[in-house]
């Protein structure tokens, strides 16, 4: 009975603390305060990180991740009775948002590289007949039923329609794409326009696009190998977790070694913490380095 009251009290306190942390940190409600809370600063930091990465991330997503993290901590405690596992909730609150933002960044930049390579190949196929960058872009966009190429080529076409020079429009396009591997193609495209789209200029542009296509194949191969290594890492983690499960079945006087003894609880917490660390570092070292794209 006493244990039930303690659990109920801890659960109530945890929910109250979670509510205070997550829903009383609105800057509008603190307009008269001189300093913002830690949680408000953390939310702004994540928003700045997402902006720098070029991915979408809002306050609602931050709060959702925090609430899920706290829920996981509560669930682990009620399953195991291990108070130390409350700390897992705090670790997840610190780790998960940045992990998700970086994952979105990697996926978005790889998708951009793939769409860019396809758009440039289509553009190059139409330049000899059209003899104009703007008309060639219009033809490429018109032939795309899904609208993927319009996302890549739409800005440069708009700049050209507004009267910008090809050099300025392509330079702005390059700064928007923010892919190092596109820089050489952009310079070659500017030079080809300057040369009047001559056969020699188009051959040079074709070589640049071929180089970008080769880079894309290499990047996809690296990403595929990295995915395989991640699967191996997760399999190794599952094997490591089999040891506590097996040892917990040992006869210790009808008590579970990992659930009812202090050393066992500490070891379980260490297992969870190290597992989170391995997952985070595995994502960092095994994932594609998008800064090199």
Please write down the HEC assignment for all residues of the chain.
Answer: CHHHHHHHHHHHHHHHHHHHHHHCCCHHHHCCCCCCCHHHHHHHHHHHHHHHHCCCCCHHHHHHHHHHHHHHHHHHHHHHCCHHHHHHHHHHHHHHHHHHHHHHHHHHHHHHHHHHHHHHHHHHHHHHHHCCHHHHHHHHHHCCCCCHHHHHHHHHHHHHHCCCCHHHHHHHHHHHHCCHHHHHHHHHHHHHHHCCCCHHHHHHHHHHHHHHHHHHHHHHHHHHHHHHHHHHHHHHHHHHHHHHHHHCCCCCCCCCHHHHCHHHHHHHHHHHHHHHHHHHHHHHHHCCCHHHC
| Tens of pLDDT, residues 95-110 | 889 889 988 888 888 8
Write down the pTM of the prediction: 0.74
Residue 123's pLDDT is 92
Residue 150's pLDDT is 85
Residue 189's pLDDT is 92
Mean pLDDT of the chain: 80
Is residue 127 situated within a structural domain? yes
Residue 250's pLDDT is 63
Is residue 81 situated within a structural domain? no
- Long-range contacts, 117-122 (Cβ 8 Å, 24+): 117/209, 117/212, 117/213, 117/216, 118/148, 118/149, 119/148, 119/149, 119/152, 119/153, 120/185, 120/209, 120/212, 121/209, 121/213, 122/149
Is residue 225 situated within a structural domain? no
Is residue 267 situated within a structural domain? no
Residue 44's pLDDT is 86
In angstroms, the CA 169 to CA 128 distance is 20
Phi first, then psi: what are they for 91, rounded to 5°? -65, -45
Closest CA to 213 of 122, 142, 126: 122
Is residue 139 situated within a structural domain? yes
pLDDT tens for the chain, residues 1 to 293: 445 445 555 555 655 655 555 555 455 544 444 456 667 888 888 888 888 878 888 888 888 888 888 888 888 888 777 878 777 877 888 888 988 998 888 888 888 889 999 999 999 999 988 888 999 999 998 887 667 788 889 889 999 999 999 999 999 998 888 888 889 999 999 999 999 899 999 999 999 999 999 988 988 888 888 888 888 888 888 888 877 777 666 655 667 666 777 777 787 888 888 888 888 887 777 776 665 65
Range of the domain at 201: 116-213
| Tens of pLDDT, residues 261-286 | 777 778 788 888 888 888 888 777 77
Is residue 187 situated within a structural domain? yes
| Tens of pLDDT, residues 23-35 | 554 555 444 444 5
Residue 30's pLDDT is 47
Is residue 110 situated within a structural domain? no
| CA atoms 13, 15, 18, 19: torsion sign | negative
Is residue 231 situated within a structural domain? no
Residue 32's pLDDT is 45
Total domains in the chain come to 1
């Amino acid at each position: 009975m006493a244990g039930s009251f303690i659990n109920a009290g801890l659960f109530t306190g945890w929910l109250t603390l979670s509510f205070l942390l997550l829903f009383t940190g609105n800057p509008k409600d603190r307009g008269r305060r001189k300093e913002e809370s830690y949680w408000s600063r953390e939310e702004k930091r994540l928003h700045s990180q997402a902006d720098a990465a070029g991915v979408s991330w809002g306050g609602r997503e931050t709060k959702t991740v925090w609430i899920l993290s706290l829920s996981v901590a509560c669930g682990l405690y009620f399953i195991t009775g291990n108070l130390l596992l409350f700390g897992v909730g705090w670790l997840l609150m610190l780790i998960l948002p940045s992990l998700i933002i970086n994952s979105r960044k990697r996926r978005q930049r790889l998708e951009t590289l793939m769409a860019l390579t396809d758009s440039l190949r289509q553009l190059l196929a139409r330049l000899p007949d059209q003899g104009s960058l703007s008309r060639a872009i219009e033809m490429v966009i018109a032939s795309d039923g899904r609208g993927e190429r319009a996302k890549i080529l739409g800005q440069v076409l708009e700049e050209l329609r507004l009267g910008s020079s090809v050099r300025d429009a392509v330079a702005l396009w390059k700064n928007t794409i923010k892919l190092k591997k596109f820089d050489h193609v952009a310079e070659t495209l500017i030079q080809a326009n300057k040369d009047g789209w001559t056969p020699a200029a188009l051959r040079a542009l074709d070589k640049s696009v071929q180089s970008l296509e080769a880079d894309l194949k290499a990047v996809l191969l690296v990403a595929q190998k990295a995915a395989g290594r991640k699967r191996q890492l997760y399999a190794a983690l599952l094997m490591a977790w089999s040891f506590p499960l097996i040892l917990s079945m040992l006869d210790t006087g009808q008590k579970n070694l990992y659930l009812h003894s202090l050393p066992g609880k500490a070891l379980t917490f260490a297992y969870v913490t190290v597992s989170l660390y391995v997952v985070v570092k595995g994502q960092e070292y095994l994932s594609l380095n998008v800064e090199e794209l």
